[in-house]
């Protein structure tokens, strides 16, 4: 160990010898490995194994990770960083099986077979917002999306998460087995209900009896997940090497972790509450709070920070004007829209978020958060903005955010440095930028994207003017001077 102070490093090894598979997970990304798999690991360790091991599958991309997990004997590391001096290094063995069931992947049948086993009682998902193929604003299934059209035509070899769930449920139904419970762990409002909508609608297109069975028998509890897990980079692997860890499947994350789950598992569940999971009757207040406070703040930093060529969340938080923006956004544009269970302290929650964002041992890139804005903005900003407008409250920060997002989707920052616009609607954004010259025309065209903006918002004169003004200001003065003008003058 080089300059690091060893006394702040805690190592936790995995020590149970076997666990059977009771959970299938779709979306073997960094977040799953650092969040759910850690809760399951702690629970398996507590019980010296048991029946709730995980089979985790990638269904769209990243076959390499599946191979790497096999290469490291299905044991990988999670590096939890409270700051650069306080680190917990955990060995995780809760993912007992890893599959690649993506296009041309070898394991689709193995995955569907696993999902059809009676021992599997829960299927969890982190496939990102776009992985459900729902209209982000209305929540309706995108029947015309090519991947959904494929799954309708070839239901036995599905490519999408909803298609895989429907096929697995159809096989269980045909075999006379009980269904599994479907637990969505993506950052969407009412995420259980959204997942149910995608699965039910796809099943209905295929077979009315199957759809009715799903409607009557399958539980789709909602959940709120929270842990900041940046994508791994060369520098995170270098950090690991400093700790003596050579593990291509490792992930680095913050030490904070939260999971709030609606307690509705008719087929049974692990006693996750022993690991600090909040098992509750209603997740909605927690989900709305987290989406608008944490994720909404993240998106503000992402677009406005990236336009100034700022690299990471902690670099952005080093700018007092961006901290002032987040404070005002949370206090004036989010907290008034929330109704929380008694005893919740939203001001303290806001403070704790700013501390987490300032963690400079994580290199959480703003461009990573900026991805897929079309899928994220409705739940992070726009639903709250609409209720603020209806109640006559301030929408300044969100209007600045929307202006920042529109400018970001042009594919360059304010100094002309180019970036990739990573979004399922990127081609449409490019076409809008190419054909609308003035901020007035551009804003009207963007607000008319009804997959993103609810009509009441798109047509609200005060909101339109606020976004147009913010576009002019950003272009003329840059981000810092614009924020100083809006926040302090
Ligand atoms: C981030 C989230 O990339 C993003 O959009 O806002 O991944 C965020 O880090 C997590 O939701 C934190 O729980």
Task: Assess contact for 162 and 139: CB atoms under 8 A.
Answer: no
Please report the atom of ligand 1 found closest to the CA of residue 227: 13
Taking only the tens place, the pLDDT of each residue in 40-96 is 999 999 999 999 999 999 999 999 999 999 999 999 999 999 988 899 999 999 999
Distance, CA 200 to ligand 1 centroid (Å)? 27
With a cut of 60, say whether residue 373 has pLDDT above it: yes
d(CA 489, CA 484): 7
Distance, CA 239 to ligand 1 centroid (Å)? 22
d(CA 70, CA 237): 19
Is residue 142 helix, strand or coil? Answer: coil
d(CA 78, CA 251): 5
For residue 373, give both structure tokens.
Answer: 């804005």
For the whole model, what pTM was predicted?
A: 0.96
Q: Summarize the confidence of residues 36-41 as an average pLDDT.
A: 98
pLDDT of residue 17: 82
pLDDT of residue 85: 86
What is the DSSP secondary-structure string of 206-258?
A: H-HHHHHHHHHH-----EEEE---PPP-HHHHHHHHHTT---TT-EEEES--E
Taking only the tens place, the pLDDT of each residue in 153-202 is 999 999 999 999 999 999 999 999 999 999 999 999 999 999 999 999 99
Q: Identify which of 33, 35, 298 to mutate to test ligand 1's pocket (most ligand atoms within 8 A of the CB).
A: 298
d(CA 423, CA 401): 17
With a cut of 70, say whether residue 143 has pLDDT above it: yes
**With a 6 A CB cut-off, is 356 part of the ligand 1 pocket?**
no
**With a 6 A CB cut-off, is 228 part of the ligand 1 pocket?**
yes
pLDDT confidence of 6, banded at 50, 70, 90? low
**With a 6 A CB cut-off, is 375 part of the ligand 1 pocket?**
no
Asked if ipTM goes beyond 0.95, one says yes
β-pair type (95-100, 86-92)? unpaired
Mean pLDDT of the chain: 96
With a cut of 70, say whether residue 118 has pLDDT above it: yes
**With a 6 A CB cut-off, is 226 part of the ligand 1 pocket?**
yes
**With a 6 A CB cut-off, is 257 part of the ligand 1 pocket?**
no
pLDDT of residue 103: 81
d(CA 227, CA 259): 9
Distance, CA 252 to ligand 1 centroid (Å)? 14
pLDDT confidence of 347, banded at 50, 70, 90? very high
Q: Identify which of 227, 294, 378, 423 to mutate to test ligand 1's pocket (most ligand atoms within 8 A of the CB).
A: 294
pLDDT of residue 1: 42
With a cut of 80, say whether residue 323 has pLDDT above it: yes
Q: Summarize the confidence of residues 390-403 as an average pLDDT.
A: 98
Taking only the tens place, the pLDDT of each residue in 411-439 is 999 999 999 999 999 999 999 999 999 99
């Amino acid at each position: 160990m080089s300059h690091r102070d060893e006394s702040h490093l805690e190592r936790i090894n995995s020590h149970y010898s076997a666990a059977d598979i009771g959970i299938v997970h779709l979306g073997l990304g960094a977040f799953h490995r650092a969040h759910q798999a850690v809760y399951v690991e702690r629970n398996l360790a507590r019980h010296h194994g048991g029946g709730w091991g995980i089979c985790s599958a990638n269904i769209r991309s990243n076959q390499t990770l599946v191979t790497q997990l096999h290469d490291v004997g299905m044991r990988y590391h999670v590096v939890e960083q409270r700051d650069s001096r306080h680190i917990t290094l955990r060995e995780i063995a809760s993912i007992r099986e890893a599959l690649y069931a993506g296009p041309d992947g070898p394991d689709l049948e193995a995955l569907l077979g696993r999902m059809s086993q009676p021992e599997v009682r829960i299927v969890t998902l982190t496939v990102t917002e776009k992985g459900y193929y729902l209209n982000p604003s209305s929540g309706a299934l995108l029947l015309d999306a090519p991947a959904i059209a494929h799954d309708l035509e070839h239901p036995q070899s599905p490519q999408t998460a909803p298609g895989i769930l429907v096929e697995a449920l159809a096989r269980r139904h045909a075999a006379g087995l009980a269904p599994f419970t479907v637990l969505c762990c993506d950052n969407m409002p009412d995420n259980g209900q959204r997942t149910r909508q995608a699965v039910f609608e796809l099943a209905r297109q295929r077979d009315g009896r199957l759809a009715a069975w799903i409607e009557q028998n399958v539980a789709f509890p909602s959940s709120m997940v929270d842990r900041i897990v940046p994508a791994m980079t060369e520098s995170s692997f270098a950090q690991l090497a400093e700790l003596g860890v050579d593990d291509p499947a490792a992930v680095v994350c913050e030490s904070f972790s939260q999971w709030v789950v609606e307690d509705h598992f008719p087929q049974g569940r692990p006693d996750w509450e022993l690991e600090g999971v909040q098992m509750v009757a209603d997740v909605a207040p927690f989900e709305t709070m987290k989406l608008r406070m944490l994720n909404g703040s993240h998106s503000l930093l992402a677009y406005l920070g990236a336009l100034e060529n700022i690299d990471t969340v902690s670099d952005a938080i080093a700018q007092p004007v961006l901290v002032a923006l987040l404070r005002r956004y949370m206090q004036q544009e989010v907290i008034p829209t929330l109704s929380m269970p008694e005893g919740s302290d939203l001001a303290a929650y806001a403070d704790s978020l700013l501390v987490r964002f300032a963690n400079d041992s994580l290199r959480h890139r703003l461009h990573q958060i900026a991805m897929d804005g079309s899928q994220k903005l409705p739940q992070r900003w726009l639903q709250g903005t609409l209720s603020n407008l209806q109640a006559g409250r301030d929408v300044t920060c969100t209007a600045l955010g929307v202006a920042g997002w529109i400018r970001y989707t042009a594919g360059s920052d304010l100094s002309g440095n180019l970036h990739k616009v990573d979004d399922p609607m990127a081609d449409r954004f490019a076409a809008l930028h190419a054909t609308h010259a003035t901020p007035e025309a551009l804003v009207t065209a963007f607000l008319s994207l009804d997959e993103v903006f609810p009509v009441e918002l798109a047509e609200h004169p005060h909101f339109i003017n606020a976004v147009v003004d913010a576009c002019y200001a950003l272009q003329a003065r840059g981000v810092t001077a614009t924020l100083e003008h809006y926040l302090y003058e």
